[in-house]
Structure formats: structure tokens, C-alpha cells
């Protein structure tokens, strides 16, 4: 039988053994833990590098690893991770050319038709590049045929974008997947353009930055939300955005709509909607700051397509009292309309009044009460359809209530009508009111009291008609008569 002392010594040795085992076991667990973290970090890095994923997917022995990576669903919400393994910088200085070639004056009908008719169902960038190269020989043709093919064959993946921003789920934007699914987000578009350009012998980079599109909040967006391309054509760098060139998103649905504007866009136009992280990719001799970019009004391509210029207001936000006048410069054949919104609700009453004076378009706005409004201006060539595209919008803070404007009819704008007075829709009853307006080609202009059917002539001074009229009470209309037409056409309506 063991003595008490021997028993105590045995217990001591036993406990020391347990401590040694526990200590060694803790060391092993620590090693396993950090080894596991290292492996996961490597796997995470592979999963979020599109080019590495592309290489893995092309190696049969490594396909099981790729499947395992996809099952991990390890994500980080940053568009940078989708493109950082592709070419986002150039090893040469980017020289800004003040007078770039204006490709808007170039007819690409032949090369566009060739691009549209290329039917490729594979998923190899190299194969596609070889096919496109058969139809394009110059830098200009190569850059354009890539642009047109992508914008006609790749749709925007609205669901993938929502998953990226809402659920941190990365889409697969590798070129192989983009060509397989024919759908992607901006990074996939930019990746595909850059890779095709490289295979076709063009220098191209992916540009990361901010665009005033979906999910952009002025002054609050600190993370890049868009990617596009720079491409070198005949020694000069140009800006390309195949995402915006492919169509638009409306009510969370992608609508395919080829837009040539975003091919080699003028840098001074591109900067209104695209701000690169690296200022050299503004391609401007004097780059703008991010703060300046955020102050630009919301401008559509229709403004530049119609050669319209902002004259009076260059900033998005406008503070005013109870009236506002915005002046634009436009060719003589351009006509414009405008409306006001509170929130998403359009004010259906006459709180905007648009007139043309020479090359100037004057947009007058008044406000039903103090508050915040959105002023939208639309314009088109005079003889085109009745569809007026939006050209620019402003955010307006009004301090007071203004008066409604008179109702205008189409003959007023069609004959370059310009009203000097009265500009208020409501006239003082039984008062002499001074009317003055310019109506091109009119032979007569008459002010008519609809209640009494009294007609009053305005004196004619060339194209200008003026006179003091006692308006009485009731609705007042202004009519005009034009050459070779016996009818009188309505121009204006007052209360």
C-alpha cells in the first residue's frame, strides 16, 4: 500500500503531466488557428482577384478549389477589389491634349454595322479579339468596334449591383463569366474593354472613380462607385464608358439603348458625370476637385448633343427668393420647356415659363410656397418629335411665394414668342395693363376678354406688339394672325 507521502508525490506528478499536456495542446490549437486564418486569407485574396480566379478557372486541377472558394461567400464591399488585378495604371505619362479629335464629327456607321453583325457565342477574350480585329485596322476603328460590340451584347446586371451594395455579395466580373452570361456591372464592362483592347494592340486602362448614377449621394459618397476606361488612339488618350453606352436603368430594369456619346467623350463634358480617383484621368489641363464635382448640376448628354451651354447657373444648388431666372445658350432651332417638382411630384400649374431671345433660352420659375424644389429643363430641335429629353436639373431652395405664369400655346413658342409683360397669370380686374411681346411673322396680335368678347388690338412695331389694355374681369386671351391664314391662333391665357 502506498504511503501518504508517496500518494501526494504521485498526484503532483500527475497534475504536472496534465499541465504539460494542456500547455502543448494550447500551442497546437494556437498554431492551427493562425494557420487556418492564413489559409482563409489566401483563399479570400484569390476569390477577390478576378485575374487569379480567371487563371484558376482555366486549370482543371484547380477547379475544385474555385468551387470551394465560391461556397465560402467571403466578400468586402468595394468595387476596387473587382478591378485591382487588371490594368488601372499606365507606365507612361498621361499628356493632356487641349484639342483632342472630336469623334462626334466622325461617321462610324460602317464599323458599327460590322460590330453589330459579329455573332460570337464563346467566352474567350482572345478569340473575340481575333474576330473583331478582322474588321478593324486603325486605332480608331479598333477602339470603336470594341465599344460597339460590348454595348450591343452585354446587358447591365441590376440584381448583381443590388446584391453588391445591399448584401456584400460580389458578382463574378471576370471576362470569361461576362462573355458567358452576357451580363455584368461596371467593373465587368471595364474589364472586358481593357482586355479586348490589349489583345487588339491598344493601350487601355481601367479608371476607378465616382459617377453621378445609381447610388451616388452628393457629398456623402466616399467609396468609388464606378469604373470606366481610358484608351490610347493615335497617341492620345480618350475616355470610354461602355456601361453607360449600353443603356439605362429605369425602375430597377435595364433598358438596352446604345449611346455613342460615351465613346471618346470630350473631357470637359465627361467631368460633369465622372470623377476619377486619379486626377490625371480627367484629361483636363486644370483638373477639378471632388468638391467642385459635387456642385455641378445634373446634366444629360442631350445638352451636349444639342450644343446647349449653361450661362447663368453653373451649380447644382440654387438659393432664391420667390422667383428665378436661368439662362441657357442654344442654337436658334432649339426649343425648350421646363417643370418644377416637390419631391417626386410635378407641379401641374404654371410655375415655369420658358422663352427664347436670340440664342438665349430664358427659364423663369416661381414657387407656390417656401421650400425645396427640383427644376427640370427639357429641350429638342424644333422640327423633331414631341419628345423633349431632359438636359439639366437643379435643386432650388425658395424663400417665398411667387405668382403663376400665363398659359402658353404652341404658336407662341413656334413663332419665337417673347413676353416682356405682363408675366403674372393673374391680372388686376378693370385695370389698364401694359402688354408687350415679340411674335415673329405675326400680322396682328389681339387681347380678348372671353367674358365680354371684346377684342383689343396691340400696336405693331416690326415683330413687337404693345399697348395698354383695360382688361375688365374674367379670362383674358391673346391671339395672333399669321400670313396666308385667316384664323387667329391662341398665344397666351390669363386669369
Q: Tell me the domain boundaries of the chain.
A: 85-295, 309-405, 408-494
Would you identify the CATH topology of the domain 408-494? Immunoglobulin-like (2.60.40)
How do residues 131-142 score in pLDDT, each as one tens digit? 999 999 999 999
Mean pLDDT confidence for 329-354: 91
28 band by pLDDT with thresholds 50, 70 and 90 = low
98 versus 288: the higher-pLDDT residue is 288
Is the pTM higher than 0.75? yes
What is the rounded average pLDDT for all residues in the chain? 84
Closest Cα partner for 145 from 200, 75, 66? 200
91 band by pLDDT with thresholds 50, 70 and 90 = low
What CATH class is the domain 85-295? alpha beta
What CATH class is the domain 309-405? mainly beta
Taking a C-beta distance cutoff of 8 angstroms, is the pair 115, 145 a contact?
A: yes
The three three-digit cell numbers of residue 399, written as one number: 424663400
CA distances from 383 to 175, 282, 357, 376, 416 (A): 44, 36, 18, 22, 13
Is residue 116 predicted with pLDDT exceeding 50?
yes
H helical segments located in 203-322: 242-246, 267-270, 290-295, 301-305
- Asked if the domains 309-405 and 408-494 are classified in one and the same CATH topology, the answer is yes
Amino acid at each position: 500500500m502506498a504511503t501518504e507521502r508517496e500518494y501526494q508525490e504521485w498526484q503532483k506528478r500527475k497534475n504536472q503531466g496534465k499541465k504539460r499536456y494542456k500547455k502543448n495542446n494550447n500551442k497546437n490549437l494556437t498554431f492551427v488557428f493562425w494557420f487556418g486564418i492564413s489559409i482563409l486569407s489566401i483563399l479570400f485574396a484569390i476569390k477577390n482577384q478576378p485575374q487569379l480566379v480567371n487563371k484558376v478557372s482555366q486549370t482543371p486541377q484547380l477547379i475544385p478549389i474555385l468551387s470551394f472558394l465560391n461556397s465560402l461567400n467571403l466578400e468586402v464591399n468595394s468595387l476596387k477589389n473587382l478591378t485591382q488585378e487588371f490594368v488601372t495604371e499606365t507606365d507612361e505619362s498621361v499628356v493632356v491634349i487641349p484639342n483632342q479629335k472630336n469623334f462626334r464629327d466622325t461617321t462610324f456607321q460602317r464599323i458599327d454595322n460590322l460590330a453589330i453583325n459579329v455573332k460570337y457565342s464563346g467566352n474567350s477574350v482572345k478569340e473575340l479579339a481575333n474576330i473583331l480585329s478582322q474588321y478593324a485596322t486603325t486605332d480608331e476603328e479598333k477602339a470603336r468596334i470594341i465599344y460597339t460590340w460590348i454595348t450591343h451584347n452585354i446587358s447591365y446586371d441590376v440584381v448583381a449591383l443590388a446584391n453588391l451594395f445591399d448584401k456584400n455579395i460580389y458578382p463574378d466580373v471576370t471576362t470569361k463569366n461576362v462573355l458567358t452570361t452576357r451580363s455584368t456591372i461596371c467593373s465587368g464592362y471595364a474589364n472586358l474593354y481593357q482586355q479586348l483592347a490589349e489583345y487588339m494592340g491598344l493601350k487601355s486602362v481601367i479608371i476607378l472613380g465616382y459617377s453621378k448614377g445609381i447610388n451616388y449621394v452628393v457629398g456623402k459618397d466616399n467609396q468609388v462607385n464606378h469604373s470606366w476606361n481610358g484608351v490610347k488612339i493615335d497617341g492620345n488618350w480618350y475616355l470610354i464608358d461602355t456601361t453607360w453606352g449600353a443603356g439605362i436603368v429605369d425602375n430597377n430594369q435595364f433598358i438596352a439603348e446604345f449611346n455613342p456619346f460615351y465613346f471618346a467623350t470630350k473631357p470637359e463634358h465627361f467631368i460633369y458625370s465622372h470623377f476619377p480617383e486619379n486626377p490625371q484621368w480627367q484629361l483636363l489641363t486644370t483638373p477639378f476637385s471632388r468638391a467642385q464635382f459635387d456642385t455641378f448640376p445634373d446634366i444629360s448628354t442631350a445638352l451636349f448633343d444639342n450644343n446647349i451651354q449653361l450661362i447663368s447657373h453653373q451649380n447644382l444648388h440654387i438659393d432664391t427668393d420667390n422667383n428665378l431666372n436661368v439662362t441657357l445658350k442654344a442654337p436658334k432651332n432649339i426649343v425648350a420647356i421646363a417643370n418644377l417638382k416637390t419631391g417626386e411630384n410635378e407641379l401641374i400649374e404654371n410655375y415655369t415659363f420658358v422663352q427664347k431671345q436670340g440664342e438665349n433660352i430664358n427659364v423663369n420659375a416661381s414657387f407656390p410656397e417656401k421650400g425645396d424644389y427640383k427644376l427640370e429643363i427639357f429641350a429638342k430641335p424644333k422640327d423633331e418629335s414631341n419628345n423633349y429629353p431632359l438636359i439639366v436639373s437643379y435643386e432650388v431652395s425658395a424663400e417665398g411665394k411667387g405668382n403663376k405664369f400665363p398659359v402658353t400655346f404652341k404658336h407662341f413658342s413656334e413663332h419665337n414668342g417673347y413676353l416682356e409683360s405682363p408675366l403674372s397669370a393673374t391680372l388686376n380686374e378693370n385695370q389698364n395693363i401694359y402688354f408687350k411681346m415679340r411674335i415673329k411673322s405675326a400680322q396682328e396680335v389681339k387681347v380678348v376678354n372671353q367674358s365680354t368678347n371684346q377684342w383689343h388690338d396691340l400696336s405693331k412695331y416690326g415683330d413687337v406688339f404693345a399697348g395698354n389694355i383695360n382688361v375688365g374681369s374674367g379670362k383674358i386671351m391673346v391671339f395672333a394672325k399669321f400670313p396666308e391664314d385667316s384664323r387667329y391662333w391662341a398665344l397666351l391665357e390669363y386669369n
